[in-house]
C-alpha cells in the first residue's frame, strides 16, 4: 500500500511516500517560502526519487488542522486536486495535525502534549500517550490557554513526564516547565512530518476511515481572524 502524505499546517512543510509502513522518500522544508510554491514540487521530487507515478498511489493523507489557516487550505486543496485527477473514490485520509506531531514522538515515554500557537494567549493542543506501541488519544483537539493546560497536566498526570512538541514548544516550556515534570524534546522531533502523517493514516485506514476527495476539508478550532472581525462588526 502506497501512501503519499502532506503537511503544510505550520511554518514547515513536508511530503512523504510511505509503502507498507516504511518511509520510501520524504522532503522536509523550513525555508520560509510560501507553501503554495513548494508543496507540489516537493511531491514531484518524492515520486521521482521513488521512481513512481501518481497512478501508483493508493491513498493520499493530509493534515487538515488545526494550524495556520492559509497553510491548512493549501494542503487540503493540493490533495483534493491530486486525488480528484484520478477518480472520485475513497482515496483520501484526513489527519489531525496534533496527532501527527504526537506520532512523531513515539516511542518516547510520558504524556505527549503537542502545542501550536493559536494566538490570543492560547495554543492548539491535545494530549496523547503511547501504550503497547500504539498512540492513544487522551483528549480531543482544542484551543486552550497555557495556564489551563498546565493545571490539567498537573492535576491529571502529576507524576508523569510531559513532552511538548510543535511550534508552541518554546513558549510552553518557558511557561510550564517550572511547574511540571518535563523532558526536553529533541529538535528533530518537535515538528510534524509527513511520514508521521502517513503512519496516522495507516491507523485510520485500519478503521475504515478513508473518504473521497470532496470530503477533505480544513478543521478550524476557531474562526479565522477576518471572520471574527466581520461577526464583531455585525454585533
Which cell goes with 184?
Answer: 526536553
Buried b or exposed e, range 92-115, using 16+ CB within 10 angstroms: bbbbbbbbbbbbbbbeeebbbbbb
Res 219 pLDDT > 80: yes
Query: So what's the pLDDT on residue 195?
Result: 98
Percent of the chain with pLDDT over 70: 92
| pLDDT tier for residue 96 given thresholds of 50, 70 and 90 | very high
Give the chain's mean pLDDT.
Answer: 92
Check: CB of residue 127 under 8 Å from CB of residue 113: yes
How far, in whole angstroms, is CA 52 from its chain's centroid?
Answer: 25
| Residue 138 or residue 234, greater confidence | 138
pLDDT band (50, 70, 90) for residue 226: very low
Domain ranges (residues) in the chain = 2-97+192-227, 105-189
Q: How confident is the model at residue 223 (pLDDT cuts 50, 70, 90)?
A: low
The domain made up of 2-97+192-227 has a fold known as Nucleotidyltransferase; domain 5 (3.30.420)
Nearest to residue 143, comparing CAs of 208, 228, 75, 51?
Answer: 228
What does the pLDDT read at residue 84? 84
pLDDT for 221 equals 83
State the pTM of this model. Answer: 0.92
Confidence of residue 67 (pLDDT cuts 50, 70, 90): very high
Q: What residues form DSSP beta bridges with 110? A: none
> Could you tell me if 125 and 171 are in contact, meaning their C-beta atoms sit under 8 angstroms apart?
no
Q: Taking residues 74-99, report their average pLDDT.
A: 90
Q: Please give the average per-residue pLDDT across 205-226, as a whole number.
A: 85
Give the pLDDT score at 120.
85
What secondary structure does DSSP assign to 159-217, as a single string? TS-EEEESTTHHHHHHHHGGGS-B-PPPGGGSS--HHHHHHHHHHHHHTT--B-GGG--
Q: What pLDDT score does 233 carry?
A: 58
Taking the C-alpha atoms of residue 90 and residue 73, their distance in angstroms, rounded to an integer, is 20
| DSSP count for the chain of H helices, then E strands | 7, 11
Using CA atoms, how far apart are residues 1 and 114, in angstroms rounded to an integer?
Answer: 28
Q: What are phi and psi of 228, to 5 degrees?
A: -65, -40
Residue 69 phi, psi dihedral angles, 5° rounding: -60, -45
* Distance between CA atoms of residues 197 and 131, nearest Å: 19
Quickly state the pLDDT bin for 107 (edges 50, 70, 90).
Answer: very high
On the question of pLDDT at 74 being above 90, the answer is: yes
Task: Answer whether 2-97+192-227 and 105-189 agree in fold.
Answer: yes
Q: Give the DSSP letter of residue 86.
A: T
pLDDT digits (tens, 9 = 90+) for 113-169: 999 999 888 999 999 999 999 999 999 999 999 999 999 999 999 999 999 999 999
Is 63 within 8 Å of 182 (Cβ atoms)? Answer: no
**pLDDT for position 12:** 93
Reduce the DSSP state of residue 224 to 3 states and report it. Answer: coil
Closest CA to 14 of 88, 85, 104: 104
Q: Which residue has the cell 485506514?
A: 205
Q: For residue 223, give every residue at least 6 positions away whose Cβ sits within 8 Å of its Cβ, in sequence order, or none.
A: 231
Look up the CATH superfamily of 105-189: ATPase, nucleotide binding domain (3.30.420.40)
- pLDDT at residue 235 greater than cutoff 60: no
Cα of 101 vs its chain's centroid, Å: 6
pLDDT in tens, 6-52: 999 999 999 999 999 999 999 999 876 689 889 999 999 999 999 99
C-alpha–C-alpha distance, residues 141 and 132, integer Å = 23
Amino acid at each position: 500500500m502506497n501512501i503519499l502524505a502532506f503537511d503544510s499546517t505550520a511554518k514547515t512543510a513536508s511530503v512523504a511516500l510511505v509503502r507498507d509502513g516504511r518511509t520510501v522518500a520524504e522532503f522536509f522544508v523550513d525555508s520560509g517560502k510560501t507553501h503554495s510554491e513548494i508543496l507540489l514540487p516537493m511531491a514531484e521530487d518524492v515520486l521521482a526519487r521513488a521512481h513512481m507515478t501518481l497512478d501508483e498511489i493508493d491513498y493520499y493523507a493530509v493534515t487538515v488542522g488545526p494550524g495556520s489557516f492559509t497553510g491548512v487550505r493549501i494542503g487540503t486543496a493540493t490533495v483534493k486536486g491530486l486525488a480528484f485527477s484520478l477518480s472520485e473514490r475513497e482515496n483520501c485520509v484526513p489527519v489531525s495535525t496534533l496527532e501527527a506531531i504526537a506520532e512523531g514522538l513515539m516511542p518516547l515515554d510520558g504524556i505527549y502534549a503537542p502545542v501550536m500557537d493559536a494566538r490570543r494567549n492560547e495554543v492548539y493542543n491535545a494530549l496523547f500517550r503511547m501504550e503497547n506501541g500504539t498512540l492513544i488519544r487522551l483528549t480531543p483537539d482544542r484551543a486552550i490557554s497555557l495556564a489551563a493546560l498546565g493545571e490539567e497536566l498537573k492535576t491529571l498526570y502529576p507524576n508523569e513526564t510531559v513532552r511538548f512538541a510543535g511550534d508552541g514548544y518554546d513558549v510552553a516550556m518557558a511557561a510550564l516547565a517550572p511547574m511540571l515534570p518535563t523532558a526536553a524534546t529533541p529538535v528533530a522531533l518537535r515538528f510534524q512530518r509527513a511520514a508521521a502523517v502517513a503512519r496516522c493514516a495507516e491507523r485510520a485506514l485500519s478503521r475504515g476511515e478513508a473518504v473521497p476527495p470532496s470530503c477533505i476539508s480544513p478543521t478550524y478550532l476557531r474562526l479565522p481572524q477576518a471572520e471574527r472581525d466581520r461577526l464583531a462588526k455585525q454585533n
